Structure 1
Amino acid sequence: MYKLISDTFNINEFINSNSTEVLLENEFTIPDNAPNIEKIVSTEGKARINGVTVSDGSVTVEGEVVYNIIYRSNDEEILVYSITDTIPFTEEIAFPDAREGMTAHVDAILDYMDSDSPAERTYSIKAVIVLDTELTNNHPVTFVSNLESDGSFQAKTRNIKYTDEVNSLSEEVNINDAVELNKGSDEIAKVLKADSEVYITSIDILDEKMLVEGTCKVAFLYSENNNLNSTGYVSEEFPFTHYIEAKNLSDDMLKDINISLNDMTYKVAENYDNELKLIEFDLSFMINANLFDTIEKNIITDCYSTEYVLDLESEKVNLTSISDIMNKTVKYDNSFDVVTGTIKDIYTVDISPKVSEKKVLDNKYIIDGFMDMNILYLNGDINKIDKAYASLPFTASFDLKDNEAKSEIDSDITITKSGAYRKGSNSVIVNCDINVCMKLKDKDEITVISNIAETTPIDRSKMPSLVFRVVQPNESIWDIAKNYNLSINYLKEINNFPEDNEVAAGSKIIIARMV
Structure 2
Amino acid sequence: MELEKRKIYMNRQKARIVTQVTIDEDRNVPDVKPDMERIILQKGEVEPEEVRCSEEKGTVRGKLKYDVLYAAEGGGVQSLSGNLPLNEPVRLEGVDDKDSLTLDWTVEDLDIEMIHSRKVRIRAVLTFTITADGLVQEGLVTAASANEPLETREENYQITRIAVQKRETYRVSEELEISGNKPNLGELIWREVELRGADCRPLDGALAVRGELAVFAMYQGDGEHMPVQWEEFSVPFSGQMDLPDSTEEMIPDIDVRLIHSDMEPKEDADGELRMLDTEAILEMQIRLYETENVTAICDIYSPAKEAVLTEKEAAFEKILVRNSSRAKLSERVKLPEGERILQICHGSSQVMVDRIGVTEEGLEIEGALHVTVLYASADDTAPLRSVDAALPFQHLMEARNIDASCTYRLKSMAENLNVLMLGADEAEVRAGIVLEAIVLTREDMTILGDAELVPYDEEKIRKMPGIVGYRVQPGDTLWKIAKKFYTTVEGIRETNEGIGEEVKPGERLILIKQTDEITA
Measured in 1, the distance between the counterparts of 2:16 and 2:200 equals: 32
Deviation of residue 177 (structure 1)?
0.6
One-letter amino acid matched to 1:90:
N
Partner residue of 1:254?
A: 251
Partner residue of 1:337?
A: 334
Seen in structure 2, the aligned counterparts of structure 1 residues 500 and 292 have a Cα distance that, compared at 3 Å, is farther
3-state SS of paired residue (1:175): strand
Seen in structure 2, the aligned counterparts of structure 1 residues 459 and 337 have a Cα distance that, compared at 3 Å, is farther
One-letter amino acid matched to 2:55:
D
Asked if the contact 1:13–1:317 (Cα under 8 Å) also holds between the matched residues in 2, the reply is no
What 5-or-longer segments of structure 2 have no aligned partner? 461-473, 487-491, 493-501, 506-520
Partner residue of 2:318?
A: 321
Q: Are 2:221 and 1:191 aligned?
A: no
Measured in 2, the distance between the counterparts of 1:15 and 1:448 equals: 23
**Equivalences for 1:245-284 in 2 at 5 Å?**
245-246=242-243, 250-269=247-266, 276-284=273-281
Asked if the contact 2:164–2:286 (Cα under 8 Å) also holds between the matched residues in 1, the reply is no
Asked if the contact 2:202–2:250 (Cα under 8 Å) also holds between the matched residues in 1, the reply is no
TM-score (norm 1): 0.76
Seen in structure 2, the aligned counterparts of structure 1 residues 174 and 351 have a Cα distance that, compared at 3 Å, is closer
Partner residue of 1:416?
A: 415
Asked if the contact 2:301–2:483 (Cα under 8 Å) also holds between the matched residues in 1, the reply is no
Aligned partner (choices 74, 77, 81) of residue 78 of structure 2: 81
Seen in structure 2, the aligned counterparts of structure 1 residues 449 and 422 have a Cα distance that, compared at 3 Å, is same
Deviations along 1:370-412, whole A, 9 cap, x unmatched? 1212122222134422121122211234445x46789654211
**Equivalences for 1:61-76 in 2 at 5 Å?**
61-76=60-75
Deviations along 1:15-34, whole A, 9 cap, x unmatched? 12122112122221221111
Partner residue of 2:387?
A: 388
Asked if the contact 1:44–1:113 (Cα under 8 Å) also holds between the matched residues in 2, the reply is yes
Asked if the contact 1:7–1:142 (Cα under 8 Å) also holds between the matched residues in 2, the reply is yes
3-state SS of paired residue (1:113): strand
**Equivalences for 1:167-246 in 2 at 5 Å?**
170=168, 172-185=170-183, 188-197=186-195, 199-200=197-198, 211-224=208-221, 230-246=227-243
One-letter amino acid matched to 1:374:
T
Asked if the contact 1:254–1:324 (Cα under 8 Å) also holds between the matched residues in 2, the reply is no
Deviates more, 1:272-281 or 1:366-375: 272-281
Deviations along 1:90-111, whole A, 9 cap, x unmatched? 2222122112311111111111
Partner residue of 1:426?
A: 425
Deviations along 1:167-214, whole A, 9 cap, x unmatched? 758463432312314425575443223324353478585x76555444
Partner residue of 1:161?
A: 159
3-state SS of paired residue (1:39): strand
Partner residue of 2:290?
A: 293
Seen in structure 2, the aligned counterparts of structure 1 residues 362 and 15 have a Cα distance that, compared at 3 Å, is closer
TM-score (norm 2): 0.76
Deviation of residue 459 (structure 1)?
12
Aligned partner (choices 370, 390, 394) of residue 372 of structure 1: 370
Count of aligned residue pairs for this structure pair: 473
Aligned partner (choices 121, 124, 147) of residue 121 of structure 2: 124
Measured in 2, the distance between the counterparts of 1:166 and 1:317 equals: 22
Partner residue of 2:19?
A: 20
One-letter amino acid matched to 1:62:
R
Partner residue of 1:466?
A: none
Partner residue of 1:468?
A: none
3-state SS of paired residue (1:38): strand
One-letter amino acid matched to 1:370:
A
- Percent identity (aligned): 16
3-state SS of paired residue (2:260): coil
Larger Rg: 2
What 5-or-longer segments of structure 1 have no aligned partner? 462-475, 494-498, 503-515
Measured in 2, the distance between the counterparts of 1:242 and 1:25 equals: 41
Deviates more, 1:133-142 or 1:121-130: 133-142
Seen in structure 2, the aligned counterparts of structure 1 residues 270 and 7 have a Cα distance that, compared at 3 Å, is closer
Measured in 2, the distance between the counterparts of 1:25 and 1:322 equals: 43
Asked if the contact 2:159–2:316 (Cα under 8 Å) also holds between the matched residues in 1, the reply is no
Deviations along 1:339-361, whole A, 9 cap, x unmatched? 25111222221211222232355
One-letter amino acid matched to 1:83:
L
Q: Are 2:36 and 1:52 aligned?
A: no
Asked if the contact 1:257–1:287 (Cα under 8 Å) also holds between the matched residues in 2, the reply is yes
